[in-house]
């Protein structure tokens, strides 16, 4: 019975019914192109190497975690440019508090989580209560954070104990701990968005804030919540980075371009920059696209600037294809 209906459906209908974000076709295409280049130029050594395959995933972790948070605020029709410096401040503060002593780990985590909540709360309060545009608000807090940490720390300060490096380098069986954490964050984000009241309200606030208000929703609280969660994902990314680097420095956030790249991967993943539509699975694919591209081109020895050019082209192409699709659907 089920097979009959399944075969009657066209392939396109099937895809729509299981709702795979279209960005996965981009990801597939990038994999295929990477695979062909790999076969032609290096006899398939890149993708057949398990270490490199894992590296693609590990490269996705830092950006992936914070991009999930960014997806939340963008679905709420907001934006967070301060995440890069939240990453920095987390990296620096956690290694400074830990000072190589495993006994300090809980304290350090408590401190940076606290900092993350405060930054998210401040961002959310300024945006919702003072009605300052989210772009400007988070640009402002981002500059404030930049000034503070650059004045306080000039270089690597403190270090993380060996046990904390488990986050960045440890494995559970064949799978890196960090990849498991990324997946947990993505699944958590998906659950939050699609199964909870908070998620439903966030889509509403982002889709049309006035409709949400007239439906009796306290829109401010929802958006403040999203900003706190976004800052917390940036904290988690900061903790991952410091466990990889073994010590934190003020420049790790801005040098990783976590602000603009988390926005870019969210949008490439199919989330509307104007809010109300999208999801974290798409964002994960967006992040993977970038890391597959980086890894293959890096292994092939392609000029790194060409990789950047391609990243730019992919961002524009992906988003252009979505607007084209949605125009067709409207027709």
Partner 1 sequence: MTQEMPVANAAPQAEKPPVLEVQNITKRFPGVVALDDVSVQFMPGEVHAVVGENGAGKSTLMKIMVGAYVPDSGEIYLNGEKVSFAHPQEALAKGISIIYQEFNLLPERTVAQNIFFGREPSKLGVIDVRQMNKNAEAVLNEIGVGSMITPTVLVSSLSVAEQQLVEIAKAISFKAKVLIMDEPTAALTLTEVRLLDDLVQRLKQRGMAIIFISHRLNEVFEIAEKITVLKDGKFINTVRASEVAPADVVYLMVGRTLDHYFPPLGQPEEFGEVVLQVQGASNDFLQDINLELRRGEVLGIAGLQGSGRTELAQALFGVTPFKTGSVTLYGKGITMRTPAQAIKNLVGFVTEDRKTEGLCQMQPIRDNMLLTVRSIQFVFGAILKDGIRKSRNLVSTLGKQVDVKTDSYDREVQYLSGGNQQKVVLSKWLASDAKVFIFDEPTRGIDVESKASIHDLIRNLTRNGTAVVMISSELPEIIGMSDRILVMWEGRIAGELPANASETDIMLMATGRTANGSMETAAAGME
Quickly count: other Cβ atoms within 10 Å of residue 259's Cβ.
Answer: 25
Q: Does 207 bind partner 1 (CB under 8 A)?
A: yes
- Is residue 253 helix, strand or coil? helix
Q: Does 187 bind partner 1 (CB under 8 A)?
A: no
Compute the least distance from the CB of residue 222 to partner 1, in Å: 10
Q: Does 322 bind partner 1 (CB under 8 A)?
A: no
Compute the least distance from the CB of residue 203 to partner 1, in Å: 6
Which is nearest to 243 in space by CA: 158, 125, 304?
158
Compute the least distance from the CB of residue 245 to partner 1, in Å: 36
Closer to partner 1 at the Cβ: 208 or 307?
A: 208
Contact 68/285 with Cβ under 8 angstroms? no
Q: Does 74 bind partner 1 (CB under 8 A)?
A: no
Residue 179, judged by CB atoms within 10 A of its CB (0-12, 13-18, 19+), counts as middle
Q: Which of 154, 163, 196, 274 binds partner 1 (CB under 8 A)?
A: 196
- Residue 176: CA atoms inside 13 Å, Cβ hemisphere, count? 22
Q: Does 204 bind partner 1 (CB under 8 A)?
A: yes
DSSP string, 65-115: HHHHHHHHHHHTT---S-HHHHHHHHHHHHHHHHTT-GGGHHHHHHHHHHH
Compute the least distance from the CB of residue 8 to partner 1, in Å: 20
Q: Does 208 bind partner 1 (CB under 8 A)?
A: yes
Residues 213-272 that bind partner 1 (CB under 8 A): 213-218
- Is residue 23 helix, strand or coil? helix
Compute the least distance from the CB of residue 330 to partner 1, in Å: 7
Q: Does 331 bind partner 1 (CB under 8 A)?
A: yes
Compute the least distance from the CB of residue 282 to partner 1, in Å: 14
Q: Does 18 bind partner 1 (CB under 8 A)?
A: no
Q: Does 20 bind partner 1 (CB under 8 A)?
A: no
Closer to partner 1 at the Cβ: 13 or 215?
A: 215
Compute the least distance from the CB of residue 329 to partner 1, in Å: 9
Residue 253, judged by CB atoms within 10 A of its CB (0-12, 13-18, 19+), counts as buried
Give the torsion through C-alpha atoms of 88, 90, 93, 99, to 10 deg: -110
Contact 78/231 with Cβ under 8 angstroms? no
Q: Does 195 bind partner 1 (CB under 8 A)?
A: yes
Closer to partner 1 at the Cβ: 166 or 198?
A: 198
**Integer Cα distance of 190 and 280 in angstroms:** 6
Q: Tokens standing for 1?
A: 């019975």
Q: Which of 4, 18, 51, 330 binds partner 1 (CB under 8 A)?
A: 330
Q: Which of 66, 160, 212, 280 binds partner 1 (CB under 8 A)?
A: 212
Q: Which residues of 182-202 are buried (b: 16+ CB within 10 A; e: fewer)?
A: beebbeebbebbeeeeebebb
Question: What would the x/- binding string for partner 1 be over residues 263 to 292, using CB under 8 A?
Answer: -------------xx---------------
Q: Does 50 bind partner 1 (CB under 8 A)?
A: no
Q: Does 201 bind partner 1 (CB under 8 A)?
A: yes
Binding site for partner 1 (CB under 8 A): 195-198, 200-201, 203-204, 207-208, 210-218, 276-277, 330-331
């Amino acid at each position: 019975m089920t097979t009959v209906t399944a075969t009657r459906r066209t392939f396109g209908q099937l895809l729509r019914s299981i709702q795979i974000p279209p960005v996965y076709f981009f990801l597939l295409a990038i994999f295929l192109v990477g695979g062909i280049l790999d076969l032609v130029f290096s006899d398939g050594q890149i993708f057949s190497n398990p270490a490199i395959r894992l590296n693609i995933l590990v490269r996705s972790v830092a950006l992936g975690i914070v991009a999930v948070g960014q997806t939340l605020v963008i679905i709420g029709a907001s934006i967070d440019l301060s995440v890069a410096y939240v990453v920095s401040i987390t990296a620096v503060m956690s290694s400074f508090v830990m000072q190589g002593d495993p006994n300090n780990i809980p304290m350090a985590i408590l401190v940076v989580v606290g900092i993350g909540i405060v930054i998210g709360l401040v961002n959310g309060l300024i945006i919702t209560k003072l009605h300052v545009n989210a772009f400007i608000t988070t640009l402002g807090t981002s500059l404030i954070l930049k000034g503070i940490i650059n004045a306080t720390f000039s270089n690597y300060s403190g270090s993380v104990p060996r046990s904390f490096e488990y986050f960045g380098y440890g494995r559970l069986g064949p799978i890196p701990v960090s990849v498991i954490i990324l997946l947990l964050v993505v699944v958590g984000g998906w659950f939050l968005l699609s199964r909870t009241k908070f998620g439903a309200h966030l889509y509403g606030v982002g889709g049309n804030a006035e409709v949400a208000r007239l439906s009796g929703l306290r829109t401010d609280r929802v958006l403040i919540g999203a900003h706190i969660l976004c800052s917390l994902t940036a904290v988690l990314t900061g903790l991952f980075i410091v466990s990889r680097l073994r010590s934190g420095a003020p420049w790790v956030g801005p040098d990783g371009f976590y602000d603009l790249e988390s926005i870019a991967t969210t949008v490439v993943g199919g989330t509307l920059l104007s809010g109300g539509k999208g999801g974290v699975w798409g964002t994960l694919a967006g992040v993977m696209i970038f890391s597959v591209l980086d890894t293959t081109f890096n292994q092939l020895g392609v000029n790194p600037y060409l990789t950047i050019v391609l990243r730019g082209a992919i961002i524009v192409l992906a988003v252009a294809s979505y607007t084209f699709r949605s125009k067709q659907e409207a027709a």
